[in-house]
Structure 1
């Protein structure tokens, strides 16, 4: 059976295992961050709605590099925002919270969605509504990899993507605890480095994160 486009997107996210959460104070800084991430081997990009002109940025990136990179939208809080992002070319949607209407919209339109949830009740609500994976957020505030491992015991079928507090020190631990991928914000997308003319720091971090995920998956 031929894979659906939706399944291809999900498979790509899970295969790469690293989802940069891109927040920036301007589209120009965001574009520089994107190039630095790509230079480090990153192929999945989450452009958050907190970036000024985020929808136009998603449209531009989808047009210019959409064949090479998977462009998604983050910090999507409602159906209208999801529709705007999908119309601009976003291939997946990420939210910091559970909005059932948004999950249903994405499900009905074959768009992968990763809603944010923290408690077992929130996680089950998101999963039951049709989430393709659950963004465990804020992962670091609730006990980190240990908390994820505790959740996996009663919820083995849920695909977890911990975000918030993920660092190079614990990235491998999250994967070994059962995460299918990890979301990383400022520890990877360091916009201060760009402002200082040191975008190479992001590139090097990207390589290290990809290596950490690969190593953890191989059992090391």
Structure 2
């Protein structure tokens, strides 16, 4: 899938599931539960044990479906390249790493780096980034997107960290491109309750659709 198509599909999906886990097995079960709940974009983080192996397995399992598989918590270009070779269709970083941006542009892979300042956002856009990740978003609240869009009305932003079912509509209403959610979505996995993860994913998607209808 081409970079432009990945970007379009992520925007239409609306919610990105940030998948962490204490084991490969837990991460795989989370992906299955989240996808059954209706969330179709998976950001598999590098904090999962054997993360590249997990990405490869998930990418292979879902290759003929509408699930989009990406890599998160990518700190450097070497890791980004390994994830891309394993099947990641997009790369997400917690911060701005120029070498990672260059590598992703070289291979025409969507990359969403984390930023905390307008200066970082401008740098990201200058290096061809389509969407920047506001992280950790809970330090700011939804009003930060309005603040960013003041000087950067052309910018697209993905808040991650602190996005919940209760406040998702606030992020959409202020113009978030998509939202990323992890702990609030996957908390059921901590007790092995993957049915709860599936139900929570459905609630997130219901909240997203309702928010879009209101704007």
Per the shorter chain, which TM-score range? over 0.9
| Structure 1, unpaired ranges of 5+ | none
2:206 alignment partner, one of 173, 198, 211: 211
The answer as to 2:53 corresponding to 1:62 is no
For residue 210 of structure 1, report the CA deviation from its aligned partner. Answer: 1.0
Q: For each residue in 1:96-147, what CA deviation from the matched residue of structure 2 results, as whole angstroms up to 9, or x when unmatched?
A: 00001111111121100000001111111111111120001111102x1111
For residue 219 of structure 1, report the CA deviation from its aligned partner. Answer: 1.7
1:171 maps to what in 2? Answer: 168
Kindly report the root-mean-square deviation, in angstroms, between the aligned alpha carbons of the 2 structures: 1.2
1:101 maps to what in 2? Answer: 99
**Alignment: residue pair count:** 214
1:138 maps to what in 2? Answer: 136
> What stretches of structure 1 move > 3 A for 4+ residues in a row?
none
1:26 alignment partner, one of 20, 23, 27: 23
Q: For each residue in 1:10-62, what CA deviation from the matched residue of structure 2 results, as whole angstroms up to 9, or x when unmatched?
A: 01110001001111000000111111101101111000000000000101111
1:199 alignment partner, one of 178, 194, 200: 194
**Structure 2: distance between partners of 1:12 and 1:65:** 15
- Of the structure 1 ranges 76-85 and 57-66, higher mean CA displacement relative to structure 2 is found in 57-66
TM-score relative to the length of structure 2: 0.96
- Of the structure 1 ranges 125-134 and 88-97, higher mean CA displacement relative to structure 2 is found in 125-134
| Structure 2, unpaired ranges of 5+ | none
TM-score relative to the length of structure 1: 0.94
